[in-house]
Chain A
Amino acid sequence: MNKTLTTIGSKPVPEGTQTCWSCGTMRATHFCEACGKVQPPAPVDYFKFFGLPWKLDLDLTALNRDFYELSRKLHPDLNARAESDEQEWSLQQTSQLNDAYRTLKDPIKRTEYLLKLEGVELEEQSKSATEQARATGQAKKQIVPPDLLEEVFELNVQLEELRMQKKMGEDDPALIEEIGRQKLELEEKQEALLEELKDRWKIWDGMIQREHNGQPVSDEERRQEREKMVDVLNRRNYIRNLVRDVSEVLEN
């Protein structure tokens, strides 16, 4: 294992310094436009890293293109003969680039990230929480979407039944088919919720645009828009986890 790397904060770039450390030209966020030298990483969010506003409907083609362009400038492989400081910056910058790209590329991750920037703590329905709950016998913290309560209950009963059957080495094709059918329905619901989320994006982006245009947006409106997106995400996450549980039982 290797020794610690210096953290980002150890080589601070003083506020207001906007020039390239190498040639003195006005610096870009990541590398100097004039001389190409990698700049010390700045603590920016992923949207800002790509020079984007906090809007959710992204141009993925542009994002891809920017990602590859920035990779060619920042990657450690292409800066391997630089001084050790620059090599470290290159490593930090590229890591941030990859983290940012990975997050912004995926619609759900992008939304969750933005909400996090806005200070929202998303409810965690991770599988490990499920296992932990199973292991400790405690109730797992979760919110079942009200419109799915009955369906979910029914499905969970069926899943338990199938689990028992498999343990005994039995097999009920009809049950398997029924569960398979419900899984497909759930997957369709998942898709529909993604579309609903994208609709909410447009509203959010409109709000951000108004802000940029100098029209004030109330805290209340902001909060409401966030809540709506959180709600869609939670519902979709719940279904996604359910689909995953179903797949696991069906496949094993």
Chain B
Amino acid sequence: MTSDRIVGIDLGTTNSLVAFMQGESPVVIPGDDGSNLVPSVVALDEKNQPVIGNAARASLISTPERAVYSIKRLMGRGLEDVREELKFSPFRLAEDLHAGEVLRIKLGEKDFTPPEISGLILRQLKRNAERFFGGPVTKAVITVPAYFNDAQRQATKDAGRIAGLEVLRLVNEPTAASLAYGLDQKQNGTVAVYDLGGGTFDISILKLHDGIFEVIATNGDTHLGGDDIDNLLITIALDDIQGDLGTDLRKNAEAVQAIRKAVIEAKIALSSQTSTKLEVELPGGGRYLREITREQFEKLIQPIIDRTVGPCKQALKDAGLKPEQIDEVVLVGGSTRIPKVRALVKELFHREPHTDLNPDEVVALGAAVQANILGGGSEATENMLLLDVTPLSLGIEVAGGVTDKIILRNSTIPASATQFYTTQVDGQANVAIHVLQGERELAKDCRSLARFDLKGIPAMAAGMARIEVRFLIDANGILHVSAREQRSGKEAEIEVQPSYGLTDEQVEGMILDSFDSAEEDFRQRQTIEARNEAATILAALDKGKKSSAWGQLTTDEKKKIAKFEKGLTAVKGEEDYQAIRKAIDLLNQGTMRLAELMMDGAVSTALKGKTMDEADMGEGPTAPHPVAKAEFE
């Protein structure tokens, strides 16, 4: 049913994808340029209109102050966290930021929060899906790194809302990958998923049995990925250039981005070649040229990829397993194409990793599987169930600045814990609770999740109140808090100050902006596309009239075609895309025999919007594909 259509989205650091379950297997939905990957790049054009994906990539070099990439690295983070990021990226922070506030970055003259940028990327994916289905898409499953904390997850959900999507579930990326793998392999066993993407690293260990995908342990580093490898090479290039040519190009954004592009190309080349050239046209003339061998590259990146070893060993320890007890290692993320990374994985787990699945697409495909399960499941997924865990311990700050852990890491979610609080002072009406995430002993070393104020506690003598506070981590890995004063039975009001997060009101404000224009945009796009198709079919008809097949039609048929052609010509300039589509359908019907005759005549002209391929698409669109591929003789 169209209303139940739920898509799966991989919102990646470097690339994003949208996929859905088509029959027995998940497929990626391509963009209008035919490509499956949408680069997670957002830029503003001269008219301050957002441009997303491949179209935005050129802006990175030409107008870097109007473009941004790898925004995922800023999601759910504060000022103090991102100082490292700022060294190499053209991220420009808004001037008036305070610590503890949501970040805002500048694109041109405008300010955006990271969820808004991610929202733009999600909206692009939403549009790709809508174009594909020929109808609205409002529900999605979105993946996040397993090691994302509460603030990062909430920011992702906010981004979904801003894009006009109801996020039914956040799924951890390695778990999603295991779904795609499990659907493919249909075997029981213990699987390790090693996910090294553009900005984040996750390692998850799962037990697969009878359709149940049970995460046993997970670990990672949300600050480690291909971007770090790029940045290392960029530094070396900048140092080289400074040494050779005497110029320090660090502040020159165009130069840095040009170098970045070349560095990425070189990195990719070295996965299949043993040496390559790093070549950059420098602004203001001059060229930087350096030969780099795979050996040199591997030596350089060793410290970076070594950082994945610790989390892997900890995950195995938490799982109570030795490497030999792992049946399969699945690789996820573009960075796992690097031969040295594969070698490291082989050494860690004492086996060759499983590389049959496309490391760029497997997460989106898994998200589509989960979307299918949430939508009620199908034959392929009827026995499947995900049992995931929370990656970080949840704690409360207690006297002495110490963390009291109330839900331990790797607890299966949903999970809860109950704590009891009381008042210190007679008549005290509020109690403050500071919630943290992390494994460290001291509160200051953990991640501040939020401060809760329990308000409206009935007036009592000090120590008399017995407030039961319940902490619940839901299936998305997000925390909910509820509280009740037990003696009076009164539910305490909870005011939340999220650290680094947007309030509900702020998100609402952002949605309305995007949503209104999204509705309008959708309508406008439909009109444009309908008009394009009208023009195409009328042009094809003109050619058809000049063909030998035309002569084979009866007078009646020609009269009918003339009538429908007139009808379409009359409406094609209008705003009402539904009227245009109706007229296109009529003309399609009227010219069916003409089309057949032309095809018989060994001429391959598609007058109809539906090509043979699309007709076999099963759950695909029932309406003619808006982007008709017509071939002319």
Contacts and interface: CB of A to CB of B under 8 A. Distances in A.
Interface of A: 1-7, 9-10, 68, 71-72, 75-78, 80-81, 91-92, 94-96, 98-99, 101-102, 126-128, 131-132, 135-136
Q: Which of B212, B470, B483 is the most central at the interface, judged by chain A CB atoms within 10 Å of its CB? A: B470
B400 A135 contact: yes
Contacts of B429: none
B431 interface: no
Interface stretch (B90-98, B241-249, B473-481, B530-538): B473-481
B386 interface: yes
Contacts of A6: 482
Contacts of A81: 4, 374-376
Contacts of A76: 414, 474-475
Given A77-B385, A101-B412, A5 B472 contact: yes
A102 B370 CA distance: 25
A102 B450 contact: no
B431 to A, nearest CB: 15
Contacts of A135: 400-402
Contact of B154 (A1, A91, A94): A1
A55 to B, nearest CB: 24
Interface of B: 4, 150, 154, 168-169, 210, 212, 370, 373-377, 385-387, 398-404, 411-417, 441-442, 450, 470, 472, 474-475, 478-484, 489, 491, 494, 496, 498, 501, 504
B269 to A, nearest CB: 41
Contacts of A95: 413-416, 472
B5 to A, nearest CB: 13
24 contacts: A1-B450, A1-B481, A1-B501, A3-B504, A4-B483, A4-B494, A7-B482, A71-B387, A72-B385, A76-B475, A77-B373, A78-B377, A80-B168, A80-B374, A80-B375, A81-B4, A98-B411, A98-B414, A98-B415, A102-B411, A102-B412, A128-B404, A135-B401, A136-B400
Contacts of B484: 7, 9
A48 B589 CA distance: 67
B76 to A, nearest CB: 12
A154 B150 CA distance: 44
Nearest to A76: B475
A150 B385 CA distance: 53
A127 B475 contact: no
In the complex, which of the residues B387, B403, B479 has the most CB atoms of chain A within 10 Å of its own CB atom? B387
Contacts of A96: 416
* Most chain B CB within a 10 A radius of its CB, from A1, A75, A95, A99: A1
A229 to B, nearest CB: 23
Contacts of A75: 385, 387, 475
B257 to A, nearest CB: 36
A131 B385 contact: no
B414 A7 contact: no
Contacts of B403: 128
B490 to A, nearest CB: 11
Contacts of B385: 71-72, 75, 77-78
Nearest to B157: A2
A127 B411 contact: no
B212 A4 contact: no
A127 B441 contact: yes
Given A78-B373, A132-B400, A4 B412 contact: no
A127 B403 CA distance: 10
Nearest to A136: B400
Contacts of B415: 95, 98-99, 102
Contacts of B376: 80-81
Nearest to B411: A102
A1 B482 contact: no
A3 B484 CA distance: 15
Given A2-B480, A77-B374, A91-B472, 10 more contacts: A1-B450, A7-B482, A9-B489, A75-B475, A77-B169, A78-B385, A81-B4, A96-B416, A98-B413, A99-B415
Max chain A C-beta neighbours (<10 A), residue from B374, B375, B442: B374
B618 to A, nearest CB: 22
Contacts of A7: 470, 482, 484, 491
Contacts of A91: 414, 472, 474-475
Given A71-B387, A132-B402, A2 B478 contact: yes
